[in-house]
Structure 1
C-alpha cells in the first residue's frame, strides 16, 4: 500500500471530477509530467493506487512527485490542446513520447469552391479554405468527419465524379455531382457546418429543435425525423468543439475571494498557446475589493510582461495601471475585461480555476466550517441546518420521449458519486416535468435516509410540487436558469434569491446544477441509443447480437445496410453468403421475403 504525504492526500481529496490538465511537481517545484484527464480526480488518484500494476517509468515518476497542480477545463478536447501546449512549453522530464512537435489533424472546408467539401488534413496551406482544430488523433476521419457528413451531407471526394457515389445512397452526401442537387440546400448545409464548427453548435441545435417541432405540428413526420436525426448527431459531437484563442501573447487573470481569503489564477498564453499557469494565494484581514486586482498587477509584474492582460474581474484605475505597465516594459500593454467571445470563455475558465484554488487554499489554511461553501449556502438561504449532504434532481427527455431523472449527491460541497441514482420516468409522454418530479420524489422519500437539502432544477411550481411530497422533513430549494440556460437564482421558502450578489456561491450552485443535468442527459442519451440499437435487424432470422453489432459497425446505420448489395453485406465478418441473402431479401422483397 502506497503511503501518501499529507499534502498529496489532501489534494486528492479535493480534486474535482472534471476534465482538465494536471502537472506533477518534484521537491524543487519543477514540472516533471503533464497529463490530461476526462476526470481529474480519478486519473490523478490512479497514480497513487495499485502501484504494482504500473510500469517502471511510472513508478519512477511517482516516487519523485512531491505535489501536483491542475487546471479545470470545459471538455476533453480543451484538455488535449492545453496538455499539448504545456508539454511543448515546459518540456517535462517524463513526457518523452510527446516531446516531438508532431502536428495534429484539422478539419478543412473548401469554402471558395462552388460545392465545398469537408476533409481531415494536417496541412493548413490552402488560403482559400477554413480550418478547425486541431483535434486529438482519435477524432479523425473515421469518427468526426463521418458524423459531420451524416449531419450536413457535404461531399468528401477530392474531385467530383460525374454521377453520385455510394455516399449518396448512404445519405452521407447531397451529391452536388448530380444535376438534381439543390444548390441552395447545399449552401445552407455548408453554412450550418461552418456555424457548428465555429462554436455555435448549441444555437444550431436549438434551431433544429424548433424546426422539428414545427414540422411535427404540421404532420410532416418525415421532415421532423430528419431534424431529429440531425439533433442527435450534433448533440453527440458538440462537446468536442470549442473556440481557441487567437492572442499571441496574453495573460488571463481571475481571482476569487471569500472573507479574508483571495486566490488568483493566471494562465500564460505565448505564441498563441497555453505556456504555463500560476496560482497566488493571499490571506489578509480587511482586504478591499476595489484594490485587489489593481494591487495584484502592480506587485505581480516586474519582467516578462505580455502585450495584453485579460482579466475576469473589473479593476480600478485601469488607465493608470496600463501606464504603469508601459513605464516598466517600454511598450503599450492593454488590459481587457471581455464580455463575450473567445476571451470571455478563457476568462470564465480562469475564474472557475480560481474558485477551485480558493477552496483548496482555505481548506489547507484552516478547517473552519465558516469558510466552506455549504456554510455560505446555509447563511444565504437562512437554513436552520448546514447542508453537509445535498441531493440535486434534474429531468431529461427529448420532446417528451424517454424521460429520465438524475439524483446527484454532494457531501461537504463535493460530488459523492456513490450516492448518485437514476430514475426512469413511468407513464406516457404527455407528462410535464413537474409531474415527473412528483413521481421521482415520491419514490425517493420511500427510501428514507434523507439529506440536509434537496435542490431541484426548476422554479416556483416545481418547488411547490416537491414540497407537497417532502413536507417539513427536508428543506427544498429550486435552481432557476435564465434564457441562456445558465444558473440565475435560487427559490426557497416562496422567495427568489439572486445569486449574482455572491459570485462564489453562484459558481458552487452552477456546478451542482450542471452536474445533475450532465448525469440526467447522459442517461437519456444512453437510453435513446439503446432504442436505436434495437432496430429492424432484430426481426431478421439468423441475425443475433454479434452479427447485428458487426453490421452496424461496418455500415454505420440500418439505412446504409438497406442500400448495400448482397456481396457488400457478405463481406462483413461473420455474415457469409447465406445470411447476407436473408438480410438483403428481408429489406428488398415484399413483406420481408
Structure 2
C-alpha cells in the first residue's frame, strides 16, 4: 500500500510526515526530490541506522507537502517539527530547551524565560554548562572555591588584576559577539601547561578554544544577520525553472515572497512593508531555528558561483 502511494509523489522539493497506527506524526523530513527520499524508506538499504529501521517498522501511513524550493522545505520542516514534536526527530525538536543566560554577582543563571538583563536564547544548550565553566575558570570568578582560584591565578595571573566589573564587561562583550579576549586568555593557560609538559591538559584547553571560537562565531554571525535591515534571497522554482522565487528577509525575519519571471522589482522591500519592521532586541526560543535556517541559506547562496545565462 505504501509503495503504491510513493508512486504518486512528484520529484519536487517538499516535506513528508511519517505516521504510526494511531495517526500520530512520528517523523518529519524534507527533501529536494520527495519521491526519491520517501521511497528510500521502503527499499532495502544497509545504510539505514537502527533508529531509522525502528521507525520504518512503525510507519503505517505518510503525508507529503510539495513546495517551490528547498528553502521552503527547510522552513516548513522546522515549523512542523516545532508543532508536532515527532519522537524520531532530534534537530529543532528541543527548542524549548534553549537557554537564556544572565550574569549576576553570585553566578551565572540559565533560565527558560528572558529578562531585560539576559542573553540568548542559545541553541547549544547541552554545551552551555561547559561554556560557563570555561568562563568561570578563565575569569577566576569570585564564587569559585579558593583552592581553585589559587591554581587558576598561577595559570593566568593577569586576570586577577581585573575588577569584577571589568570581568563582567568583557563577558558581556563576548555574549554580544564583540569580544574575543577569552581566546587569548585560553591560549595563555594552554602555554602554561605546555611549559609544565602537561600535554594532556594543554590538549583539553585546545578543545575549549575550539568550542569558544565556534560559540563566539555563532553569536557574531547571528547578530550581524539580525541587524541587517533587509536582504533578498533568490531561488529557481523547482516545478517551473522559468520562475524565480524571491524571499525578503528583514532583521532576520522572512516578511515576503514573490514568484516572478523577471528580475525582482526595485521597490520589493518597501511594498512588502519591511520599512515598518524594527530590529529585534531578543529572539524567542521558537524563532531561533528559522533564523538559523535563513542565515545558513544566505551564506550558502553567497558562496555559490553566479549562474550563466546562455540564451
Larger RCO: 1 or 2 (CA < 8 Å, sep 6+): 2
TM (norm. structure 2) is: 0.36
Q: Rg: which structure is higher?
A: 1
Normalised by the size of structure 1, how large is the TM-score? 0.20
